[in-house]
Amino acid sequence: MSNHDQAIARSLDQFHAAASRADFDAYFGAFTSDGVFLGTDATERWTVEEFKAYCKPYFHQGKGWTYLPRQRHISVNGNVAWADEVLENEKYGLCRGTAYLIHDPSRGWLISRYSLAFLIPNDVAAEATALGKK
């Protein structure tokens, strides 16, 4: 693993750990100022400011969420990186996170876009996606 890959992996690990601890400042410190979080619901496209407003009451109560990275792939081109990771969550099982990161010389690798998706086995995909059509 290259130095860039290690630094990006650390950034993503810190991002997930901050969510698990409900550490508002560390979690949102992982984003660029114009970052976007794409959640699992079709309505969940949040700018950093919108996502802060959504998360603040939960984090204030000490309620975060835990996604444990199980597999990760990272690609780097200069000061831009892409990562996809399989995550494990107690409630949802396996999920996929996809990140677009930008290197800031003073702050390190920051998340510009993060997308979280549920992983649905192909043999139940038609049944599961039918729920979203209702």
Q: Check whether 85 has a pLDDT greater than 90.
A: yes
Give how many domains the chain has, as a whole number: 1
d(CA 51, CA 81): 22
pLDDT of residue 134: 63
pLDDT of residue 132: 77
* Cβ neighbours for 75, distance < 8 A, ≥ 6 positions apart: 81, 82, 83
Using a CB cutoff of 8 Å and minimum separation of 24, what contacts does 95-100 make? 95/40, 95/67, 95/119, 97/12, 97/67, 99/12
**CATH number of the CATH domain containing 35:** 3.10.450.50
Domain hosting residue 125, numbered range: 3-131
Q: Check whether 1 has a pLDDT greater than 70.
A: yes
pLDDT of residue 109: 98
pLDDT of residue 127: 87
